[in-house]
Structure 1
Amino acid sequence: MAEPFAYQSQPVQSEQQPPNTQFEDERAAMGGESIKQAMRAVVGELQSEANRRVGLRQAIETRWIEDLEQYHSKYDSETEKNLVAEERSRLFINLTRPKTNAMGARFKDLLFPTDEKNWGIKPTPVPRLTEQAEKAASMVRELEQQAMQAQQQASAQSQEGQQDPAQQQQPDPAKQQQAQALQQQAQAAKEALAKLNAVLEEGRRRCDLMAETIDDQLTECGYQSISRDQIDWAMKIGTGVVKGPITGDRMRRGWKQRPVLDANKKPIVDEVTGQPKTEGPHYLDMAEGDQPGYRLVDPWGFFPDMDVAKIEDGNGVFERHLMNTKKLRELQKLPNFDVDALRRLLRSQPISNAPAYISQLRNIRGEAQGISGNVYHVWEYNGPLEPEQMRLLSLAMNNPVAYEAVADVDPLSQVNACVWFCENEVLKFALYPYDSGECMYSVFNLVKDESCVFGYGMPSILRDLQSAFNAAWRTMMDNAGISSGPQVVVDTTTIEPADGDWKIRARKIWHAAKGITKENPPFQIFEIQNNQAELMNIIILAERLTDLVSTIPQIAQGEPGTMPKNTPFGTTVLSMNSANVVFRDGIKNFDDDVTVPNIRRLYDWNMQFSPNAEIKGDYDVKATGSSVLLVRELQAQSLMAIAMNFGGHPVYGPMLKNRDLLRKIFQAHMIPADEVMLSDEQIDAVLAIAAKQAEEDAKAGTKADNSLQLAQIQMQIEETKANNQIQLANMKHDYDLKLEGMRRDTAMMELAGKSNIDLEKIRAMLEAKQMDVQSSERKLAVEAAVTAQQPHQEQHGGGTL
């Protein structure tokens, strides 16, 4: 059963709204029966549109069933029936599942690293203000320099008068006034710069608070787990959907104690803690959820506008929730639901059957049963409504706020609403909660469809190759079974078995009734040709094409047997980096279609509903999922080299942010830095203790002679310079080797393309050539050794036998 989704349509108002006389007059004039008929008419229009979208999606649901059958190693019903009737092999070697799981695991690893977020926000005016701050700082420096020059000139004139009283001149008032004016301008520029820096710092502080708030909200709703499930759906059937931010859709559980009350029934506050005093046993408190969160949407119950290719371009979204009586009763706990409408539904039995896909899904998993009995089809619609529809629903649901919103609406304006309905009953009606009007659904497709919101998953991509692989495998198994033994033809008129059984067994006795002749033998043996080698070639080719079509090479699946060796043709690290290129397009799609819209909507929610004014400001949302695609091994090696070569350098060492560098090293090794590093406060305390110890050692006379220290420092500097030169030379040598290897790889690929030769064959040819060269070298060495021994043997009278 799908979990219901809801949200509060409006923030809680502390002041009571004045009554709307026009609303009350029109509601009284229509009467109860007219209002019910109007409501049923609106619900009927929405139900018709929902049924139309269900019919338009039948072809896509059929494809989804095929995708899931392929993923779970099941043949479709028609193929299974034919194989059973023909008594053929029904083996299913699944190439789709590992490719699908590998692609999904790779996406999750890149999009949701364990040590950093895949999103961020920054204040929008920061670049402009930063530029202004830089200009202001430059102006301050210029004014200070000009004031200093003017002051120096005035001082020089005064000194000349003191040295030669006869030529003493009065100071120039204009220059003194100019110097004072420049000093005043410099001081004013400093104050302006300080204010500008304060604005920048305040913007960054508010932005950091907003980022922390959003991060806490995402953590509380389990955003990463929801997004991983969304990726799994996209890998299997091509489409994954999440919804949010929404509030009020879940009850928050908590164990509490009852407060201690005074004589006036008011809570008594503890003087020490400032919190109300409590007593007695704990009890379970169910409170309405007020924190925004995201929810996973079942793709089978998701019905967007089928006439558009992007979810944001559609004309509203229908979401179907299949509920039994238990789930329907739980809706009364959620805000803004009509309890009387729920009672009327529960008094009557559900009239709708369960969708056919449920039985099909259970058959795939080996459960040959559907849902017993009917279920409630509760529909949720989020999108625009016509002003007349809004007016009628406002009157029927006694919602004066929505009535005022459409009283004098401009035809060019769009009014969005949220409507829950089931079997001609409106369960909930409210205005759309967000001022931005942005669609609250985010859709991710593994491969996008140019004409539809729903995309294609890995099973659809590999459909033909999986069929070719299975067909070749079944044929090979059938051929192996038929050709495993000979076909025997027996002449029953000439012989008969001694035991009366016509089955052929070892050491069996047969009676020849009419004798045996060479021209007419009683037995004839016919061998069926075995085609295992030819069929195996088809299987190998299909497996290789699977890597090509799925864009997931074996190295990306982490299989050790297929990892390339560190040969002159390339290294494992470079190969892994090349494999990551395949995923960058999909990661960028996820950033654009899911991450940025989700964080932007949550930012809008906090700007509109959050009571904390400290976090509000003008911010931009950015996604950083694609930046994680850097090869971790290369990044770790580079960071380690920087730390070792420049961390203790007397010149470059003080310029490094050592703490941030150490954290980056742990992140590159996929180790959470907070688990192995001290906090900044603890590091400062350790450094303070070390500095104090050094000061005490210096006071105790343990400090070495300054000249000796200077000599040691000079020696260290010289040694560091020499080591740096050696390391730079080694790095240049390694770079040249890698560059030559890349050139060699490029030349090999060009040769392979021109000659239509596989790279493995080229490697084999080069290895064979290298073996020939080594053999020739050994032969020359032997001949040289023999030649060197011949004069020695002739000198001693040696000879050969």
Structure 2
Amino acid sequence: MASLGLLQYRSAADLQADEQAEAQRIRDEQERRRQLVESSLGAHIRRSWESAKMAKQEVEYRLLDCLRRRKGEYDPDKLTAIRKEGGAEIYMMLTATKCRAAAAWIRDIMMPANEKPWGLDPTPVAEVPDAYLRPLAAQIQAQAQQMQQQGQPVDMAALVEQAREQIRQAVQEKADDAAKRHEDVIEDQLAEGGWDEAFEAFIDDFVTYPAAFLRAPILRRVPTLAWLEGWQPIKTETIRPEFERVSPFDLYPSPDATSVDDGAYLIERARFTRGQLNQLMGIGQGSGYNDEAIRRVLEQYGQGGLRDWLWTDGERAELEGRGHEWLTPGDTIDGLIYSGGAQGVTLLQWGVSPDEIEDPLAEYEIEAILIGQHVIRVRINRDPLERRPYHKASFQPVPGSFWGQAIPELMADIQDVCNATARSLVNNLAISSGPQVEVYEDRLQPSEDPTDIYPWKIWRTKDSAVTGNNRALNFFQPQSNAAELLSVYDQFERRADDATNIPRYIYGNERIGGAGNTASGLSMLMESANKGIKDAIRHIDRGVLRRVIGALWLHNMQFSDDQSIKGDVNVVARGSSAMLIREQTHQLREQFLQLTANDYDMGIIGHDGRRKLLDSIAEKLDMPGLIPSEEQMQQNLASQQEAQQAQAKIEQAKAQAEIAEKQARAQKYGADAGQVQADVVQTQTETEAARQMAPLEAQKLLAEIAKLIAETRRSTDGGAGLEGAGPAGRIPGGAAPGGAAQGRAGGVPRQPGEVPRQR
């Protein structure tokens, strides 16, 4: 009995059969939708691919020409014409030199050692989250009630404004902290996702081709290492964003595109390995990858690969050093990555699940991957601004065009003239390197070989049948035009500096002349050259760096579980100003450090400000850990203060001891004050008496000296000396002989105050 009244009874077998039927219906619906997607969407991608290939033919000629000029090789048609004329096939690598110099210059600015050319700055007025606004009303109400209970007047408008201001300050501080933490997260994602390698390759494309491309971020499941207890390694898998350089040969915009986002579609021709396709399985339903379609691709093309050769692939492979690819079938699998817009109705017709289409009449940006006849991925781009995961920059953009101009194109005419001049120079040097010989073979002996010429050779000739000067050999020297050709080459080589804004002195050429002979003049020239390269770097900032960091920030804001990194911030690209920031800021910091090295300024900025200034300078000089942290500095200051206080106590104790000692001495000296005063009076009296007796003592001394001289003369000449001593028998000096002045024994004069010795 199937039913009784309002109750229905079914057996377990019936229920199981119904579940199996429902599961089979779902599988059939998914298979029907997959086949519809592969037939409808796959056909649309193929039609778009053919249209994009046709529109890019002229650009592919330009790409090949740029690559040839960078590699230093002639166009096949031009090389055939040169060989037809004969002579040298030399190619002057002027374009390669400019491209290498520009790439090194850009890497030095965009990839500094201890800095990053980007940042996250909070918006000037950060948005206030609801979590802060909800308790605002309760807080204001409680404060108003408290003021009313205390009998104070309540101004609700002032209370609301005060609370809002406090919340804005708190939110701004939170946004600053979140921006700093988010910068660390993005920097870690860039390091692990291969940003440096991809960006270096992008810079090479930037200076070589009319446009360079990066694809980021790409979510992939990659193997990583984890550590168990005891530091035992274990292999795990994680999904992380990665970054790839996309060759300009492999990107095909729609014919109406002027940027990566405004065209109807954008197609990348990609090559997958079996390992990469396996990594795409199991990422999750949100990624849009179809594991069943990937398995079918591996079954069909996993062994022999899939190559969709284009007409440019052969020469491109030769120029890129991959000429062996033509000899081996390879194991890679070609695919088309499609990014374009479609209406919701069209997506439903293509078989996209109705759960993903909110409005059938709305326009949706989708991402799809087609390999052979299988669409392995269909996903609606969930970027709020519908930006595609491709980023482009050109050395010199052309307004209204998808492709810009590259360095090889800017100096193409100059490179051609330099090549022609160099070929003419080599040919002329070869012709004028030795004499030309005119030979009359009828004048030579049969044994002579006119092509065998060497020094001191003797030519055997015959008589000429023609009268006159008819020599058997005539030599003449062709004219050398080397100086003129070198002058032409130098002039056009200098023109390359103006055409590319990459002067020779940037990469170490010492032949500058003019203002470049002085340090200040060279500095002015360098600053002028910086303007050109900064303009090119600005294109990288706007087209690539800001977009990539913004995409990572948006990805983390949407899918990261770490709430501490989320905040209202702006992405700031600092590449174009990194040159000035690095040089000028460092110089200004050093000047500021010297100007504030005084007590007055130190009282303003304080020790913490001085520490921050020193820390910033040490960071630029790659001296980590030299300046102590704020906590360490506080500890050091506390230790110094304790030491100063101890020293002050010691000095105070010493001062008190000295004061006590001086007081004791003063008391002792006070007891002897009378005696000291008597000694002073006696000393003054003796000094005055000595001063009065000084003239008498001086006269006595002169008399004794005169007497001593007279006695010495008498003892020498028996008294004769007295008669010739002077008039009236007197001694020079006015002392009479035999006077009061007597000499001392031994001829030593007596000192003042000394009593004469009796004879």
Q: TM-score, normalised by structure 1?
A: 0.68
Go from structure 1 to structure 2 and tell me whether the alpha carbon gap of 1:469 and 1:675 turns closer, same or farther (over 3 Å shift). farther
Amino acid in the other structure paired with 1:447: Q
Match of 1:424 among 355, 369, 373: 373
Q: Secondary structure at the match of 2:572?
A: strand
Cα distance, 1:74 vs structure 2 = 1.4
Q: What amino acid does structure 2 have at the position aligned with 1:687?
A: L
Q: Find the residue that maps to 2:261 and give its secondary structure.
A: helix
Task: Check if 1:611 corresponds to 2:610.
Answer: no
The match for 1:446 among 375, 395, 414 is 395
Contact 1:421–1:428 (8 Å) recurs in 2: yes
Aligned to 2:750: none
1:697–1:703: 8 Å Cα contact kept in structure 2?
A: no
Q: Distance in 1 between matches of 2:464 and 2:499?
A: 65
Asked if the contact 2:253/2:265 (under 8 Å) is kept, the reply is: yes
Question: 2:329 is aligned with what amino acid?
Answer: G
Name the % identity. Answer: 22
Structure 1 equivalent of residue 325 of structure 2: 370
3-state secondary structure, aligned to 1:456: coil
How big is the shift at 1:88? 0.9
How many residues get paired?
Answer: 606
Distance 1:123 1:325 in 2: 44
Residue of structure 2 in register with 1:751 after alignment: none
8 Å CA contact 2:34, 2:351 repeated in 1: no
Structure 1 residue 703 displacement after superposition: 10
Task: Kindly state the Cα deviation for residue 584 of structure 1 after the two structures are TM-superposed.
Answer: 2.3
TM-superposition CA deviations, 1:43-99 (whole Å, max 9, x none): 112112112212222221221121111111212222223333333111222111121
**2: distance between equivalents of 1:127 and 1:390?**
38
Counterpart of 1:360 (choices 315, 326, 332) is 315
1:652–1:564 distance in 2 versus 1, CA, 3 Å: farther
Structure 1 residue 568: Cα displacement:
8.1
What amino acid is aligned across from residue 59 of structure 2 in structure 1?
I
Residue among 186, 191, 195 paired with 1:223: 195
Q: Name the structure 1 match of 2:180.
A: 208
Task: Supply the distance in 2 between the matched residues of 1:38 and 1:190 (Cα, whole angstroms).
Answer: 59
* Separation in 2, partners of 1:566, 1:300: 41
In structure 2, C-alpha distance between the alignment counterparts of 1:189 and 1:434, rounded to whole Å: 37
* 2-structure distance, mates of 1:666, 1:559: 33
Instruction: Give the Å deviation of 1:691.
Output: 3.0
User: Aligned-pair distance for 1:338?
Assistant: 2.6
2:493 & 2:233 partners in 1: Cα distance? 60
1:93 equivalent in structure 2: 92
Question: One-letter code of the match for 1:479?
Answer: N
Contact 1:317 1:382 in 2 (8 A): yes
Structure 1 position 354, deviation (Å): 3.2
Alignment of 1:184-263 (within 5 A): 194-247=166-219, 249-257=220-228
Query: 1:25 Cα shift?
Result: 7.1
- For 2:339, give the aligned amino acid: N
Cα distance between partner residues in 1 of 2:282 and 2:26: 31
Structure 2 residue 617 is matched with structure 1 residue 662: no
Give the 3 Å change call, closer, same or farther, for CA 22–419 of structure 1 in structure 2: farther
1:329–1:342: 8 Å Cα contact kept in structure 2? no
SS of match in other structure, 1:512: coil
1:108 aligns with 2:107: yes
How far 1:389 moved relative to its partner? 4.2
Contact kept? 1:647, 1:653, Cα under 8 Å: no
- 1: CA distance between counterparts of 2:625 and 2:267? 45
SS class of match (1:493): helix
For residues 58 and 562 of structure 1, the distance between their equivalents in structure 2, rounded to whole angstroms, comes to 42
In the alignment, structure 1 residue 304 sits paired with structure 2 residue 253:
yes
Distance of 2:451 and 2:544 partners within structure 1: 71
Aligned mates of 1:228, 1:631 — CA distance in 2:
22
Task: Kindly provide the amino acid, as one letter, of the partner of residue 442 in structure 2.
Answer: T
Matched residues in 2 for 1:386 and 1:38: separation?
15
Shift of 1:349: 4.7
In structure 2, the partner of 1:315 is 264
Q: Map 1:524-563 onto structure 2 (within 5 A).
A: 524-560=474-510, 562=512
Q: Which runs of 5+ in 2 are unaligned?
A: 1-18, 129-148, 656-759
Q: Deviations over 1:540-586 (max 9, x none)?
A: 11111011111111232244554877878944333322221222222
Distance in 2 (CA, whole Å) between partners of 1:326 and 1:188 is 61
Partners of 1:535 and 1:321 lie apart in 2 by: 47
Change (3 A) 1:438 1:405: same
Change in 2 beyond 3 A, CA 1:492/1:589: same
Deviation by residue 1:467-498 (Cα, 9 ceiling, x = unmatched): 11111011011011111122211111122264
Q: 1:23 to 1:577 in 2, by over 3 A?
A: farther
CA contact (8 A) 2:63 2:249 kept: no
Q: Does structure 1 residue 458 correspond to structure 2 residue 407? A: yes
Matched, 1:390 2:343: no
Pick the structure with greater CA Rg.
Answer: 2
User: What does residue range 729-744 of structure 1 map to in structure 2 within 5 Å?
Assistant: none
Change (3 A) 1:37 1:225: closer
Deviation at 1:103, TM superposition (A): 1.3
Partner of 1:510, secondary structure, is: coil
CA 1:538–1:676 in 2, change beyond 3 Å: closer, same or farther? farther
Partners of 2:508 and 2:654 lie apart in 1 by 56
Residues 706-721 of structure 1 correspond to what in structure 2 (within 5 A)? none
Letter in 2 for 1:504: I
Higher relative contact order (CA 8 A, sep 6+): 1
SS of equivalent residue, structure 2 residue 445: strand
Whether the aligned pair in 1 keeps the contact of 2:307 and 2:334 (CA below 8 Å) is yes
Change (3 A) 1:575 1:696: farther
Indicate the SS of the match to 2:339.
Answer: strand
> Which AA in structure 2 matches 1:591?
D
Contact 2:392–2:543 (CA under 8 A) maintained in structure 1: yes
Q: Which moved more, 1:608-617 or 1:556-565?
A: 556-565
* Cα pair 1:480 1:532 within 8 Å, conserved: yes
1:508 aligns with 2:507: no
Q: Tell me the secondary structure at the aligned position of residue 460 of structure 2.
A: strand
Shift of 1:437: 2.0
- Larger deviation, residues 526-535 vs 366-375: 366-375
The answer to whether the 8 A contact 1:341-1:426 is kept is: no
Following superposition, the deviation at residue 445 of structure 1 comes to 0.9
* Paired residues of 2:344 and 2:360 also in contact (CA < 8 A): no
Quote the Cα distance in structure 2 between the aligned partners of 1:562 and 1:469. Answer: 20
Q: Residues 500 and 429 from structure 1, CA distance in 2 versus in 1: closer, same or farther, beyond 3 angstroms? A: closer
Matched-pair contact (CA < 8 Å) for 1:321–1:377:
yes
